[in-house]
Amino acid sequence: MKVKPSEYKKRNMTIWNEVAPRYHKRWASSNQGPFQSTKKLVELVNVKKGNKILDVACGTGVVTKKLGEKVGKIGYVIGADTSVTAIKIAKKWNDKSSNLLFVNADAENFSFKEKFDIITCQYALFFFPNAVKALKNMRKYLDESGTLGISVHGHKDRVPFFGNILDAVTQFIPDYIPPGTPSLDRYGTKKSLRDEVKKVGFSKISVKDFVFKYSPGNFDDYWGDYLRYVAKPIKEKLNLLERSQRKELKEMVKENTKQYTKRNGIIEFPWEVLILTAKY
Site of interaction with ligand SAM (CB under 6 A)? 9, 12, 16, 28, 57-59, 62-63, 81-83, 86, 106-108, 122-124, 127-128
- Shortest distance in whole angstroms from residue 244 CB to ligand SAM: 34
Residue 55 or 219: which CB sits closer to ligand SAM? 55
Minimum distance, C-beta of residue 61 to ligand SAM, in the bound complex (Å):
8
Separation in Å, CA 189 to CA 48, 177, 195, 272: 30, 21, 10, 10
Candidates 179, 183, 198; CA nearest to 152 is: 183
Residue 252 burial (C-beta neighbours within 10 Å; 0-12, 13-18, 19+): middle
Q: What residue number has its CB nearest to ligand SAM?
A: 59
Residues whose CB falls within 8 Å of the CB of residue 2, separated by 6 or more in sequence, listed in order: 179, 180
Q: Which is nearer to ligand SAM, 80 or 267 (by Cβ)?
A: 80
- Cβ 276 to ligand SAM, closest distance in Å? 14
Distance separating alpha carbons of residues 1 and 280, to the nearest angstrom: 39
**CA 180 to chain CA centroid, nearest Å:** 19
Q: How far is the CB of 63 from ligand SAM (least distance, A)?
A: 5
Which lies closer to ligand SAM via its Cβ, residue 59 or residue 75? 59
Rounded least distance, CB 122 to ligand SAM, Å = 4
Closest by Cα among 88, 38, 84, 33 to 64: 38
Min dist. Cβ of residue 195 to ligand SAM (A): 21
The CA distances from residue 252 to 28, 112, 178, 257, in Å, are 28, 48, 22, 9
Of 3 and 252, which has the nearer Cβ to ligand SAM?
3
Q: Least Å distance between CB 203 and ligand SAM?
A: 24
Question: Which residue lies nearer to ligand SAM by CB, 79 or 249?
Answer: 79
DSSP assigned state of 71: H
How far apart (Å, rounded) are the C-alpha atoms in residues 60 and 6?
A: 23
**Full 3-state SS string of 150-164:** EEEECCHHHCHHHHH
**Beta bridge mates, 52:** 76
Q: Are 3 and 180 in contact (CB under 8 A)?
A: yes
